[in-house]
Homo-oligomer: A and B are copies of this chain.
Amino acid sequence: MSSSDGAGVPGPAFVLVNPQMGENIGAAMRVMANFGLDDLRIHAPRDGWPNERAEAMSAGSPLYASARVSDDLDDALEGCTVLYATTARPRGMVKPVMTAREAMAEARGLIAAGQKPGFLFGAEKSGLPNELVARSRAILTLPVDPGFASLNLAMAVGVLAHEWRAGDPPPQEFKPLEEAADAVALHRMYEHFEDELERAGFFFPLEKKPLMTQNLRNIFARAGLTEQEVRTFRGAIKALTIGRGKARVVRD
């Protein structure tokens, strides 16, 4: 079984039907592995198999070795219980039409219920044959601009592969390591800053000080400082004031 993430949830199958260009097959293999998908089936690739261009573009993806390549469509669809037909053209068939997000959300639910969804992608020029669209539970179409609708095959695979993971939170290693400053430390910093500004004659005329203070504090409140950043900023204030005279700022 395929495994899509650390929790070992199986992923959907992606099926490339009669893909033409090895470059696209390889790029699809690369991006599927990027997003943790490992069940790729390739039905009747135009240029046969193995394919050097596919291998080069796969950039070391494990899917180059693991993909199931077959001229037998039954083999390519084996085990898939629900098919989604990706197509850029309406086919005049009565069938639910879904966005990538909707279809992948449904596929997640089906996987949780023990099913195996398969996403079908047609050939670069011709798309999926109507016969396969008819066998699919739903049409999946991407929101392309009608004036420039020709989406690269690997790009379509990439968009779908990303949708498989798009709801995941950012990875753990991106969590900030530093502690956020508390309101008291921030208030001390505000007072330090404002005391030095007052000494420098910045609050002029003085009746404007409350509003000017409020505007300055608002900047830092929005930024969300860490304890370290509070120390750094207080150090910057200190550096600016060392050796500085108490002369009033001259204004034109």
Contact = CB atoms under 8 A, between A and B. Distances in A.
5 contacts: A34-B150, A34-B151, A35-B145, A59-B150, A99-B168
Contacts of A142: 34-35, 162, 165
A175 B94 CA distance: 9
A57 to B, nearest CB: 9
Contacts of A176: 94-95
A171 to B, nearest CB: 7
Contacts of A166: 99-101, 143, 163
Contact of A143 (B61, B99, B151, B168): B168
A152 interface: yes
A155 B27 contact: yes
B34 A170 contact: no
Query: Within the oligomer, what is the number of copies of this chain?
Result: 2
A33 B33 CA distance: 26
Given A59-B150, A94-B229, A148-B34, A170 B155 contact: no
A165 B143 contact: yes
A141 interface: yes
Nearest to A99: B170
A94 B229 CA distance: 9
Given A94-B176, A94-B229, A159-B159, A145 B99 contact: no
A155 B92 contact: no
A155 B99 contact: no
Size band of the interface chain A makes with B: 35 or more
Interface of A is mostly: loop
Interface in A157-186: 158-159, 162-163, 165-171, 173-178
Interface in A107-165: 139, 141-146, 148-152, 154-155, 158-159, 162-163, 165
A94 B34 CA distance: 26
Contact of A145 (B33, B98, B149, B151): B33
A162 B165 contact: no
A168 B99 CA distance: 8
Given A36-B145, A145-B34, A148-B62, A169 B94 contact: no
